[in-house]
Structure 1
């Protein structure tokens, strides 16, 4: 079953953010755009490249009113240790949620049950808490924060412009489509 177009489920967790341990719940997510950026594990290989890439684009996400929540099944203590040990992870300013109970990862249907690890999954959540986009990649395939930023902009555009949709490769300021009978078979 797909979680696309469903509301996020209740959760509570402890996260590491800017040198502190903080509580995070589903209620903290409501009222703004959010990205849940799941990854398999701290102290690995592809994961830090992705998290660092998101960190490099974090200010751009913030300008759009988007909060980033990275999530793995590690603890918030492990996130802090990784932050202290890695130059790449040290630059992260967004919230790093620990999910050792696997509850959040299960809520997003993104858990490898047999391993207790999250899949490499990205979920764009609107201010009402509804999942608007899902991207899953295999273990060895890293994601691109610039493309995630483009997708967030498209989701925000569609949300604020009912009746319009964003075609393939759409970028901010690009042409959109207004689905209608007149367009059928003409694209």
Structure 2
């Protein structure tokens, strides 16, 4: 039986996990927690991928990195995550040209405890689905998007939804930042 996916309106689970933040010797790893974005009064965008050293995953990670400043401009902490270890993350970053200069942490959920609590583990291989969470500064999940293992996500859509959520207003279909919101 598969876990129920934690969704909109729920509190994002508390966590403290090791993450890869650099490929520079001596400063590769850093602990990150669920409180980091709350203490900074920022939004959190956490995106999960199934496995390191695969094919679709690095295209997504590289695109999130390309848009890193866009997330920062929106006061959002960007965190990438999978159930691989911090050592596998580090090896992958060193090995893959598109991942060497990442500006956001790669969270290592080696115990799979966070992925399990979120309900995002695929039943057979017990790897995380391609899931993206947008969490507000109070720790409340405001958006969840889940893709099949074979389909990459749209980073521009994640930014569009973050923009819409940050208006705290009603946003019509296909709304983009700068357009009129709905006045009820």
Distance 2:61 2:9 in 1: 25
Residue of structure 2 in register with 1:167 after alignment: 172
Match for residue 8 of structure 2?
4
Structure 1 portions without partners, runs of 5+ = 159-163, 180-187
TM-score normalised according to structure 1 size? 0.89
* Equivalent of residue 121 in structure 1, options 96, 111, 131: 131
CA distance in 2, matches of 1:151, 1:18: 29
Q: Per the alignment, in what secondary structure is the counterpart of residue 162 of structure 2?
A: helix
SS of the residue corresponding to residue 158 of structure 2 reads: helix
Mapped contact 1:40–1:73 kept (Cα < 8 A): yes
Q: 1:29: which partner in 2?
A: 37
1:157 maps to which residue? Answer: 167
In the alignment, is the contact (CA less than 8 A) between 2:7 and 2:143 conserved in 1? no
Partner in structure 1 of residue 183 of structure 2? 178
Match of 1:183 in 2: none
- Within a 5 Å distance, the mapping from 1:2-151 to structure 2 comes to 2-19=6-23, 20-30=28-38, 31-151=41-161
The alpha-carbon deviation at position 113 of structure 1 amounts to 3.9
Aligned counterparts of 1:172 and 1:70: Cα–Cα separation in 2: 24
For structure 2, which runs of at least 5 residues remain unmatched after alignment? none
Once the two structures are TM-superposed, the CA of residue 48 in structure 1 deviates from its matched residue by 0.3
Give the TM-score, by structure 2 length. 0.90
Residue 114 of structure 1 deviates from its aligned partner by: 3.0
Q: For 2:56 and 2:146, how far apart are their aligned partners in 1?
A: 14
Deviations 1:75-123 (A, max 9, x none): 1111110000001111311011000101111222211243120000000
Partners of 1:113 and 1:77 lie apart in 2 by 24
RMSD after superposition: 1.2
Q: Whole-Å Cα distance in 2 between the matches of residues 137 and 106 of structure 1?
A: 17
Give CA-to-partner distance per residue, 1:17-49, whole Å, 9 cap, x none.
123200011111312101110110100010000
